[in-house]
Each structure stands twice: as structure tokens, then as C-alpha cells.
Amino acid sequence: MEYRRLGGSGLKVPVLSLGTGTFGGTNEFFKAWGTSDVAEASRLIDVCLEAGVNLFDSADIYSDGAAESILGEAIKGRRDQVLISTKATFRAGKGTNDVGSSRFHLIRSVEGSLKRLGTDYIDLFQLHGFDAQTPPEETLSTLDQLVRAGKIRYIGCSNFSGWHLMKSLAVSEKYGWPRYVANQAYYSLIGRDYEWELMPLGLDQGVGAVVWSPLGWGRLTGKIRRGQPLPETSRLRNQTVKDIGPQVDDEYLYKVVDALDEVAKETGKTVPQIALNWLIQRPTVATVVVGARNEEQLRQNLGAVGWNLTTEQVAKLDAASARPFAYPYWHQQGFAERNPFPV
């Protein structure tokens, strides 16, 4: 397993990590992802550790906290062997303050996560979304307090716009508070918007990408093609899950899958392995979070490392997945000679 620095920090993480969205399945939304109990989760973690994958990503809202609880049970007796990443900001209760990035909610969220995870520290704590109603000074001073207390070690964000992240970094620099070293972002062969602003920002500011949904919300499993029905286990069969995730035009999807099929024939690898390997080679990417309903799926995903696509294969996938740029990015292409981080 290859390990990389997480952004500008000194922490090293594996290029693949395991997401726990498939743990629990205690509500209809997350049931469409998976329903792993403690026994199955423990086995998946066994397989990960054997392969050198020691980072496990969760969130307080995954199955209403059950995913964190299952992860905590599954790592009992081996906490020193793993890195835990979790998130908070989204609504986690019915109270007025049970949402957002206020001091009140973040402290309560971290205390709840620590209890469910059965640990006294979180290796990487990330804001799950941007809270425009809470001053960044309040949020970042709270995270500083939690770092100083030893309850979290590194901080990151998720689903921020470029200006959200840059403003936060400026506040951290002004007051000498911890900086976000991770940006958990949606990025895939069929979702390349991350490259427009967040990737150049990450390169410039030392913020590493922790990629979520690298297979395009379950569309790049190799089982979705023209004229074929969705597989029985696809989360896309759940309309609520489909609607809340990234939207992808069918013809665009099929064009990318066609290119993946070509590369699959050349390499002898599977479609998801190729899609994951493409991501691992992209700038700023520190780790790609994969999900797995079972051991077989996990082992397939682990097959994405230990080899690299050729330059020609990467170019073929780049061309198939290219999309017209939004303004001002299309205009900036005309001045690429002075842009050190071209999209």
C-alpha cells in the first residue's frame, strides 16, 4: 500500500481508505448503501489492515450514529493500529442547535462521536458542510480548543466552495489556529468539477483531497451500461438516494464507461479498479474513500493499487470524461501560459 502526506501536514495516510457508510443501514437512506453489522465490519477491517489500509472514515449522521458505533466495536483492541476520520455539521437532532458549526454543536458532536467510537481522540475531524450562519472565527477557535485538548489531531472540511475554504485558511493564519489539511470532496471520472477551483487551491495551500464517492455514486461499478437494467443491489434504485447525489447525464456516463471498457480490455483490470486508479494519479489526492457491502467488493477495490495506468490510457479517460468549463475557467484556458495550476 502506498502512503501519502495528508495535505501540508506530517500525517501519512493510505491512498485507499474505507468508508463506513455501509455500516448499520438503520434508516432507508443508508440501507440502500449497505447493512454491515459488527461482525461483518470487523472482517472488512481485518482485510483492510492486511492490505495496509488503516484509515476508516465515518460521520455522525451515517445511520444516525450507528456507523460510528459499529466502527468503534470493530476496532476494539486495535485502536493504535488505525486512523479514524469522522465528520459533523449536518443536522443530528431535532433541537435548534443540533446543526451547523457553532461552538455548541461542534463540541457536542465531537463528544458524541468519541463516545460512539469508544476512543478518546479522533485522528481527522472534518466539517461535513459549510455553515454560513456561524462566523469562521467561532468555528476555528472551537476546533483549536479541541485540538489543544487532545480530542482531535487534524482538521479538514468537506463540500466547501473554494472561497469558503480560502476564507477559513486566512482566519487560521491570522490567529495561529490549526489549518484545514484535508478537503473531503466529491471527485470521479464522471464528476470532475473539483478540478476547476478546489484542486488549484489544494495545490497552492497544501490541502489534500479525501475523495468521496469515487465511483460516481455507484455508476462506475461496471454493471451499468446502455440498454441494461440497474443491478438489484444498486443504490440508484432508491429514488431518494439517486436524487440527493450527483446528477449525471446518461449519454455522458455511457461515453465514459465505453472508454473504461476499452482500458479494461488493455489492462485486464475491472472498470472500478481503473476508475479508482485514475483518481489515485490525480494532483492533490491523498486518499480515495471506497465503500464495500461485503468482502468480495472490498477485495476488488483493493485491486486498484500496486499498478498505474499508462499516460495514453489516462489521456483516453481524460478525453472521454472532459466537460465544457464554466466561466471564468473556460476564459482562463486562453492564458494558460501564466497559470501554474491549469484546470
Q: Is 62 a catalytic residue?
A: yes
Phi first, then psi: what are they for 86, rounded to 5°?
A: -145, 175
- With contact defined as beta carbons under 8 Å apart, do 320 and 256 qualify? yes
Query: Residue written as cell 470532475?
Result: 192
Rounded Cα distance between 11 and 322, Å, is 33
Query: Residue written as cell 461496471?
Result: 222
- With contact defined as beta carbons under 8 Å apart, do 192 and 329 qualify? no
List 62, 180, 186, 187, catalytic entry: 62
Query: Residue 255 has which C-alpha cell?
Result: 461515453
DSSP one-letter string for 94-124 = SSTTSSSS-HHHHHHHHHHHHHHHT-S-EEE
- With contact defined as beta carbons under 8 Å apart, do 339 and 278 qualify? no
Among residues 129, 135, 47, 126, the alpha carbon closest in space to that of 286 is found at 126
DSSP count for the chain of H helices, then E strands: 13, 10
| Residues ≥6 apart with Cβ < 8 Å to 63 | 23, 24, 25, 26, 27, 30
- Buried b / exposed e along 226-252 (16+ C-beta atoms within 10 A): eeeeeeeebbbeeeebbeebeebeeee
- With contact defined as beta carbons under 8 Å apart, do 284 and 311 qualify? no
Query: Residue 74 has which C-alpha cell?
Result: 470493530
Active site residues: 62
